[in-house]
Amino acid sequence: MAPKTKATIADVARAAGVSTATAGRVLGGYGYTSEAKKEQVLKAAQNLGYRPNALARSLITGTTRTIGVVAGDIQNPFYASVLRGISNVAEANGFGLLITNSDEVQSKEVHSVELLAQKQVDGLIVTPSDTRRARHLHNLRSMGVPLVLIDRAVAGLMVDRVATDNIAAAEQAVRYLIAAGHRRIGIVAELVDEESGGLNAFLTHAIAGDPIESETLYPSWQRLLGYIRAHRIEGLPVDPRLTLRAGSYSAIAAQEIVPHLMTASDPPTALFTTDGTMSEGAMRALSELKLKIPQDLSLICFDDLDWMSFHRPGITTVAQPRLAMGEAAARMLLERIRGEDYPPRTVLMPAELVERGSVARL
């Protein structure tokens, strides 16, 4: 029944009494074959338990029907959802998914991209960990490997990209807080990479309303920018002491920094956390400080994580369409793989402010 050794197309051909070419035609579904031989071959294949070797096929067709993904960390709900979105459309189109983690470390990302390229993926979806140095990605482009960026852009790399409209999303959230009467609003953001001149320089520029090249900013910087814009629009000053930088993409970092803000002399009445991880860290800190939400502190988070809906009170949050982002990215990539030749597209997806009970009116 189940054969001990794998059967090749030649074995099937021999068993069916035809040439490998004919066997290949019926098994591969290309070219002409008579009904009679088709049945013979199919029966022989069935008996031998023939399973096509995708490697050999890919070697000659030049396509693997596999797409490579470099995510930051599969375990992170953001990436997990994005991946699921990618997986959905990949699967629907008969594509496999080769997934790696970069941990937001450039060297790992380079290594991953190299691995995936060697495995001859038909295209890549990457969340670049460095928005400037990206030789490996430029290199891919010059080799003609389709590439789609998620969540972040790379300066000078003109490729398809899908991201959240971070500035608008943050601006909306912060204006919502201001509309509720809040005047001192804290923000806790990752802000991992030094923008030229650092946080202070960025703040003074942004507060002054200087034009800022925001496209290639990291998402957390974009969200900070939205925070600042909301203040400017509403005619409110920005107090730099209210802008908290975690400095790394970790909940612990957020958790450690929040207490400084809340135990200071003039604490904020509302807090805005700029992504799921920061939200989690902040929640840990607030929980330990035994602060009541929203009585002691109003809160708007970023990313709609499971617990935010059943937490009491419900957490008002900016929901990114994570699944849809993954799906959009995969669809764009598949179009490129099919050879469609648009100019590079940027899809900015709107985030939705989900109102729950974590914001008090002052």
Partner DNA sequence: CTCATATGTGAGAACGTTCTCGCTAAATTT
Partner DNA sequence: AAATTTAGCGAGAACGTTCTCACATATGAG
Q: Does 77 bind a copy of itself (CB under 8 A)?
A: yes
**Residues contributing to the site for DNA (CB under 7 A):** 6, 8-10, 17-22, 24-25, 27-28, 30-37, 50-53, 56-57, 59-61
Binding letters toward a copy of itself, positions 26-65, x by CB under 8 A: -----------------------x-xxxxxx-xx----x-
In degrees and rounded to multiples of 5, residue 9 shows phi and psi of: -65, -30
Least spacing, CB of residue 33 vs DNA, in Å: 4
Task: Mention every residue, 6+ apart, whose C-beta is less than 8 A from residue 7.
Answer: 45, 48, 49, 50, 51
Contact set for a copy of itself, span 129-158 (CB under 8 A) = 138-139, 142-144
**C-alpha span between 160 and 335 (Å, rounded):** 11
N-to-C CA span, the chain: 75
Residue whose CB is less far from a copy of itself, 6 or 17: 6
Distances 3 to 8, 48, 52, 269 between C-alpha atoms, Å: 12, 6, 14, 70
Peptide bond into 313 cis (omega under 30): yes
Q: How many residues bind a copy of itself (CB under 8 A)?
A: 57
Instruction: Indicate whether 355 belongs to the interface with a copy of itself (CB under 8 A).
Output: no
Q: Which of residues 257-296 bind a copy of itself (CB under 8 A)?
A: 280, 283-284, 286-287
User: Which of 230, 309, 242, 302 lies closest to 270, judged by CA?
Assistant: 242
**Residue 144: count of CB within 10 angstroms of its CB:** 7
* Smallest distance, DNA to C-beta of residue 143, A: 12
Binding mask 232-261 for a copy of itself (x = CB under 8 A): -------------------x----------
The DSSP string of 124-141 is EEE--S-SS--HHHHHHH
Residues 78, 277: Cα–Cα separation, whole Å: 9
Closer to DNA at the Cβ: 118 or 295?
Answer: 118
- Note the residues at the interface with a copy of itself (CB under 8 A): 2-4, 6, 49, 51-56, 58-59, 64, 66, 73-75, 77, 80-81, 83-84, 87, 91, 96-101, 114-120, 138-139, 142-144, 251, 280, 283-284, 286-287, 305-307, 309-312, 323
